[in-house]
Amino acid sequence: MASPMQQWRKDHDVTQAALAADMGQSASTLSQKENGHLNWQQKDLLFLYDRFGLSADFVLGINNLPSCEKAIA
């Protein structure tokens, strides 16, 4: 099963290599973060929010909504 970030990248046609380069890290490092082998750093979460509006909860897999919007039941 793909992580929220892997699915988001696929949905938005963003390659792992391109995103990693934008974030100033290797594709291998980004892969490890997406797969839960390395922790996301605060600077990663801030970058993803500033650049794409992705919430930390989404990146961390806590919430399935990419932005800070709340689901209305």
The whole-number pLDDT of residue 72 equals 36
pTM of the model: 0.83
Q: Which residue has the higher pLDDT, 20 or 62?
A: 20
Task: Give the distance, in angstroms, between the CA of residue 9 and the centroid of all CA atoms in the same chain.
Answer: 8
Q: Helix crossing, 16-23 with 42-52: angle to 10°?
A: 110
- pLDDT greater than 50 at residue 47: yes
Split at pLDDT 50, 70, 90, the class of 66 is low
> What secondary structure letter does DSSP report for 66?
S
Q: Are 29 and 44 in contact (CB under 8 A)?
A: no
Residue 52 CA to residue 73 CA, distance in Å, equals 25
pLDDT in tens, 9-19: 999 999 999 99
The whole-number pLDDT of residue 11 equals 93
